[in-house]
Amino acid sequence: ELIEHLFSPKEFLIACARSLRRRGLLILTTPNVQGFDITTLGKTSDHLAGPNHLNYFHPQSLKLLAEACGFKVLEVTTPGKLDAEVVRNKVLAKKFTLIHQPFLRQILIDRWSELGGQFQQFLRRHTLSSHMWLVAMKQ
C-alpha cells in the first residue's frame, strides 16, 4: 500500500530490484483503478478521495512497470472481498444511487443474499476487484 503514493514508482522498484538477491521476491499491494467499486463509484470512491494517491495502476500497467524494472511477474491478482459490499453500503447509506443501473441494483440490493457472494467471487476471479497484489521475482 505504498507505490500509489510515490512520486517515482519506477525508481522505487529499481531500488527494490537492486536490494534483492537474484530470485528474491517482491510482493506489493495497491488499489486497482479498474476495480469494481472504484469504477462504479467514481468520484465517490474512498480510494480516489484526497490528493494522497499520485499514481493509479491496473493489473496490466503494474505488470509492465515491474517487468521494466527487472522483475519477472509471477502473479497479479485481485483478492478483494469487499468490493460489492462497499458499493452496496454506499447505496444503502444514500451516498450513491443505482437508479440508472437496474442490473447492479438487482445484484447488490434486491437479490444480495442470493447473488452478492457469487458476484464478489466473479470479481476476484477476473481481476476486477479494487484491491490488487503483485508477486514478482528479481531476474
Predicted local distance difference test score (pLDDT) of residue 53 = 84
Angstrom distances, CA of residue 51 to CA of 4, 56, 129: 11, 12, 22
Spatial distance between the Cα atoms of 16 and 49, rounded to a whole number of angstroms: 28
Q: Tens digits of per-residue pLDDT, 53-82? A: 889 999 999 999 999 999 999 999 999 999
Q: Tens digits of per-residue pLDDT, 75-118? A: 999 999 999 999 999 999 999 999 999 999 999 999 999 999 99
Residues 6+ away with beta carbon under 8 Å from 59 = 32, 34, 76, 78, 127, 132
Predicted local distance difference test score (pLDDT) of residue 118 = 97
Q: Tens digits of per-residue pLDDT, 25-53? A: 999 999 999 999 999 999 888 877 667 88
